[in-house]
Structure 1
């Protein structure tokens, strides 16, 4: 099949799949740590890259290949390269999102280099920026995502900035970063750009459309969709660079994922389009409900007209997504009481599963971020993050309503 000629849902199902020589409908799970060579010459040819083929599961395996090709297709579907031909990217599947991030950083940065990014990032990413990279001599600069002119000034003044790293919508305050403007700055000043597209998925947003060099996902979330396996993926638009420089780093860091987890990921992606439609419609209804509740001080959801990035979300996203956060007026204690009172919605970190997940960033995902830094990024003690599931939306709202009622006494 010519993958680029099909719709998104068809690509979710058929993309990346190769016919099995034993006629299995789905790609079998390749539960083997190593692969055989017919001859010593074949082994040499595979190690040198002269011949394509598998060597060792840490380097790659058929289940990873299918997931990589499927996700790379979804991120480039309908896009054209500089030559006018369909854009084709290359991807590397990892055992976790953090493994994929570290491959990105260590493949492109050395002591003395700098990253330019913005506030309100995923807590794990923020900790790597503040606690790991500085020890390697890599400095991270933070700019206001609403003031690209300040980023332009930094890029103009500091040639040591090697990478611009963006996350949109941001976690957990759901601010949107203008991809066209920020990636445009990267091209203007000759810097690499990478975008965390986990919240949006390629169904809602394609950063390669704006010229990004790399796109990152925690595949644990919406791509898998069922909370069955961790994973991460790094996709690059320069396929030769990915095959040489990035693949070498990936293999040596040992961040590859298991065949079973990759198989679960490919299986989950088959329903991505259907799930995202339901996730997003539920999220809109929930956000509108929360916006009317007296116990809620503010709802952070790009689909609401009151959101500061509403117009931007309309421009660069197909729908505003399924993630939101909201602030309870009662602060920390009200937040704890609210979460403890949930009956249908699930108390858990992570996101993107079929069920509605609710978490408290101040005590969970962003616990390792200093309070002053959290609050500067808009992550208050009473902030609740919600990943809208695909249950009947009436049931989600009913559960939230009774939990808000229980939390009233904490105001």
Structure 2
């Protein structure tokens, strides 16, 4: 067990040791605390636990010792190397949820009330977009969509009265469009707006939105790169305002009932320990695949932030350590050619989700964004022929061989 006084310099060290708590039974690995409730030695002890900040030994909907370790580890990764306004290492509060959708629901509903507005941009993850338009708007919270990559259009949109929250997803799913976190968060703060960033595609290893003082919240679907093995569902919401996170946000979280479960939490903790190793391989493989596809005669276009041809390449290069493992592309011949390509794959896996060790290929128009109206998604660049690829850690020659035979 590492000492809390040891100053960890590397992100891999943080992923392995950050957030860990001493186990009373001296377990080397954080155990699975598979208990719905925790007993009290005395009535006074029970009262103390309910009155205190640490809710991990009361009832698992309120907290769990395993959740605490996962939350602290993610917070340590997002805050690693960042200094707060007081000159000390940045302190964050994380809340682990049962899914990304649960964490996103807590974010929107704990920060906004009827009459407020949320400003966001196009090409969001389909689940987020549907949550905003089919659930959040039902609570009389208006959703404004603008091209936040364009400073002039962003500035104009921010003049709208009643905005409470500006929500950014960068890189976005599935077009890989990027928003300048520094610029947009600074513009929002000048107006007094809250800012949240979906950091799922990048992971804390590649991008740390809290580097920018204007960012209040960071979100992850932990199902993806943080877990990394496709073995558990989860989501996390992190906040800079510790008091707000421990009070109002935590209250919405537990009352909505979106708590994580001990086994999925255990899998998440184990997965995070190899985050840096996995991400380096995802990034290097994705770059080779993107360059290969861009030159292929059967491919119309490739969307990958690491390619100079991507319209947001400069923004990604500025705010990301590397370009990630996600890309999208269009095969010549439209939807028919795309279906033929997907069906011919022999190594790559036909599946939704992303961030797993194996390469996943999906068709957003009929899968992740099927609930988004056709005209709307096409205006965002999500065409019928678009194919999304989560590049895995397989040997690159095998990935390329499979792509070549499928594109013939």
Pick aligned residue for 1:36 from 36, 39, 50: 39
Q: 1:367 to 1:53 in 2, by over 3 A?
A: closer
State whether residues 88 and 237 of structure 1, in contact with CA within 8 Å, keep that contact through their aligned partners in structure 2. Answer: yes
- CA shift, 1:3, in A, is 6.2
State whether residues 4 and 78 of structure 1, in contact with CA within 8 Å, keep that contact through their aligned partners in structure 2. Answer: no
Tell me if 1:309 matches 2:312: yes
State whether residues 18 and 76 of structure 2, in contact with CA within 8 Å, keep that contact through their aligned partners in structure 1. Answer: yes
Tell me if 1:154 matches 2:151: no
State whether residues 4 and 77 of structure 1, in contact with CA within 8 Å, keep that contact through their aligned partners in structure 2. Answer: no
Counterpart in the other structure of 1:264: 267
State whether residues 4 and 73 of structure 1, in contact with CA within 8 Å, keep that contact through their aligned partners in structure 2. Answer: no
Q: 1:170 to 1:35 in 2, by over 3 A?
A: same
State whether residues 304 and 310 of structure 1, in contact with CA within 8 Å, keep that contact through their aligned partners in structure 2. Answer: yes
Counterpart in the other structure of 2:228: 225
Pick aligned residue for 1:11 from 2, 7, 14: 14
- CA shift, 1:145, in A, is 2.0
State whether residues 107 and 245 of structure 1, in contact with CA within 8 Å, keep that contact through their aligned partners in structure 2. Answer: yes
Q: 1:176 to 1:45 in 2, by over 3 A?
A: same
Q: Could you state the TM-score of these two structures normalised by the residue count of structure 1?
A: 0.96
1:86-128 per-residue CA deviation (whole Å, 9 max, x = no partner) reads 0010000001000000001111111111100000000000101
- CA shift, 1:4, in A, is 5.0
Listed as ranges, the matches of 1:327-406 within 5 Å are: 327-405=330-408
- CA shift, 1:51, in A, is 6.5
Listed as ranges, the matches of 1:84-163 within 5 Å are: 84-158=87-161, 160-163=162-165
Counterpart in the other structure of 1:176: 178
Q: 1:31 to 1:51 in 2, by over 3 A?
A: closer
CA distance in 1, matches of 2:53, 2:134: 40
Q: 1:129 to 1:28 in 2, by over 3 A?
A: same
CA distance in 2, matches of 1:402, 1:129: 40
- CA shift, 1:149, in A, is 2.4
Tell me if 1:275 matches 2:275: no
SS in 2 for 1:116: strand
Counterpart in the other structure of 1:200: 202
State whether residues 61 and 259 of structure 1, in contact with CA within 8 Å, keep that contact through their aligned partners in structure 2. Answer: yes
- CA shift, 1:154, in A, is 2.9
State whether residues 55 and 64 of structure 2, in contact with CA within 8 Å, keep that contact through their aligned partners in structure 1. Answer: no
Q: 1:104 to 1:3 in 2, by over 3 A?
A: farther
- CA shift, 1:52, in A, is 5.9
State whether residues 109 and 252 of structure 2, in contact with CA within 8 Å, keep that contact through their aligned partners in structure 1. Answer: yes
Counterpart in the other structure of 2:211: 209
Paired residues in the alignment total 404
SS in 2 for 1:275: helix
Q: 1:57 to 1:50 in 2, by over 3 A?
A: closer
SS in 2 for 1:319: coil
CA distance in 2, matches of 1:86, 1:385: 38
Structure 1: gaps (5+ residues): 406-411
Pick aligned residue for 2:62 from 45, 59, 62: 59
1:146-204 per-residue CA deviation (whole Å, 9 max, x = no partner) reads 2222222332341x100000000010000110000111112111110000000000000
Q: Could you state the TM-score of these two structures normalised by the residue count of structure 2?
A: 0.97
Counterpart in the other structure of 1:49: 52
Counterpart in the other structure of 1:167: 169
Counterpart in the other structure of 1:289: 292
Q: 1:398 to 1:180 in 2, by over 3 A?
A: same
